[in-house]
Amino acid sequence: MKTTTENVLAAPCGLFCGECSDYKAGNCPGCRLIKGYCLNVEGLCETFACADGRGVEFCFECYDFPCSKLSPAVDMAGLIPQNIKVFNLCFIQKQGLQAWITNAPEIRRRYFNGKMVIGMGPQ
């Protein structure tokens, strides 16, 4: 997996490290630069290790995408954005990394503060 200036804050799983409180506090440069040893994970992040081992930059490039490592869960959904990983990865795949980085704050805002309107999605 290659780390570039464009993807340095975009985790292989679809999370944006630039929005993490550890990154904002200056305690972490992003998971790519620390090779998956995220401060929020005990040891090596399994998803990072999987992507790295398969030689993919993002999980959507893997033949097993989407897999159980990206599966959403209700637990802590209001605190951490793990449930938007697949959405983010599909966005990057279809619209590109730069478009996602530009839209990441709005995607995160809708996730944490949006109200779901049936038939319309989060508003």
103-113 confidence digits (pLDDT tens): 998 998 888 88
Can you tell me the distance from the alpha carbon of 16 to that of 7, in angstroms, rounded to the nearest whole number? Answer: 10
Q: Tens digits of per-residue pLDDT, 59-82? A: 999 999 999 998 888 887 777 788
- In the predicted structure, residue 43 carries a pLDDT above the cut 80: yes
Measure the N-to-C terminal CA separation of the chain; round to a whole number of Å.
35
